[in-house]
Amino acid sequence: MRIERLSPNEWERLQSIRLRSLLESPESFSTTHEQASLFPHESWVKQLEDLPTFVAVLDGGDAGIVRGEHDEEKDEVWLISLWVAPEARGLGIGETLAREVIDWVKSIGNQTLVLEVREGNKHARDLYARMGFLPNGAVPTDCCEIQLELVLE
């Protein structure tokens, strides 16, 4: 397995894996497959310009994705869109992808990483707990029920 950071000219890869994740795990994301299917290619390019996007490649195919987002107004850094293909689960890909975002957060000089997760997503919640993410008491968005935070050393 290797991790690749996508560049804006790889928008079709982002589109493909993101649509697959929304179709396979619709309950995990606030964007729906139907909504994302309508995005023009410029939207996918812009996402890659604005959001560091890391993809896990396994046996020559894209097997997972994660993105980071820096909200400069609030000075918050987010881990978003983490997803691992069903056939690649249980191999440590989710943690490897999350660590890519952690490394990116450190590289931009931030010390805190925030994410939101649905209460019923036990696998994701267990992963984040193993990595040291803790509930921060903040009110989550309409996407999820729990907001977690990791303070980096």
68: domain CATH number is: 3.40.630.30
Query: What's the confidence (pLDDT) of residue 139?
Result: 72
Range of the domain at 72: 2-151
Tally of structural domains, the chain: 1
Residues 49-67, mean pLDDT to the nearest whole number: 97
Is 80 exceeded by the pLDDT of residue 140?
no
Query: What's the confidence (pLDDT) of residue 75?
Result: 81
Q: Positive or negative CA dihedral for 126, 67, 74, 44?
A: negative
Q: Positive or negative CA dihedral for 123, 107, 63, 145?
A: positive
Is 80 exceeded by the pLDDT of residue 129?
yes
Give pTM, 2 decimals: 0.93
Q: Which residues contact 90 (CB under 8 A, 6 or more apart)?
A: none
